[in-house]
């Protein structure tokens, strides 16, 4: 029997334009090594492009899931029992919470290329984190998943 899919699972992948920039980094590395010959130029193209692609891929590999009574956001795993009210943020509100409304104690998984987000209150009295800010392309879906799944 196949395990059931989590109620919410999103990967915050980097935009396509970033992959074009990674290729441009490879071309720039190739041009820097062009005076040394064809073989170093090709090594610069492949090596520089590969290194830039690794950076783009790792930055774009952030994942948000609601599974097994917990919210898993990046490296953090927070039990749903420690979470309170979920606030869906549109692009304007998300920008405000990323900048002038931000609390330095908050856990933030943000990506500048994702305009919308959710802000989840942390109710655990032992945790000094006031809230969790998560960039997401589907804030309503994440809010629904956090509200619908019973805490384990």
| Whole-number pLDDT of residue 2 | 45
DSSP secondary structure letter of residue 109: E
Nearest Cα to 132, choosing from 104, 109, 107? 107
| Whole-number pLDDT of residue 1 | 40
As a whole number of Å, the end-to-end CA separation of the chain is: 22
Q: Give helix 38-59 / helix 16-33 axis angle, nearest 10°.
A: 150
| Residue 66, CA atoms < 13 Å, CB-side half-sphere | 20
| Whole-number pLDDT of residue 150 | 56
| Whole-number pLDDT of residue 151 | 47
| Whole-number pLDDT of residue 88 | 95
Given the DSSP bridges, would you call strands 117-122 and 131-135 parallel, antiparallel or unpaired?
antiparallel
Nearest Cα to 138, choosing from 6, 4, 12, 5? 12
Q: What is the pLDDT along the chain (152 residues), one digit of tens a residue?
A: 445 555 888 998 888 999 999 999 999 999 999 999 999 999 999 999 999 999 999 888 889 999 888 999 988 899 998 999 999 999 999 999 999 999 999 999 988 889 999 999 999 888 899 999 999 999 999 999 988 755 44
């Amino acid at each position: 029997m196949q395990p059931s899919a989590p109620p919410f699972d999103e990967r915050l992948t980097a935009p396509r334009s970033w992959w074009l920039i990674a290729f441009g980094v490879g071309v720039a590395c190739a041009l820097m090594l062009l005076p040394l010959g064809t073989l170093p130029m090709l090594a610069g193209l492949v090596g520089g492009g590969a290194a830039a692609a690794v950076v783009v891929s790792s930055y774009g590999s952030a994942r948000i899931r609601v599974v097994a009574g917990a919210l898993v956001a990046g490296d953090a795993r927070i039990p749903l029992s420690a979470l309170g009210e979920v606030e869906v943020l549109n692009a304007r509100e998300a920008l405000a919470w990323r900048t002038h409304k931000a609390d330095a104690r908050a856990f933030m998984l943000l990506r500048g290329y994702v305009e919308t987000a959710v802000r989840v209150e942390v109710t655990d009295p032992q945790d000094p984190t006031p809230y969790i800010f998560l960039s997401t392309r589907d804030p309503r879906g994440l809010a629904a998943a956090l509200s619908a799944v019973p805490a384990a």
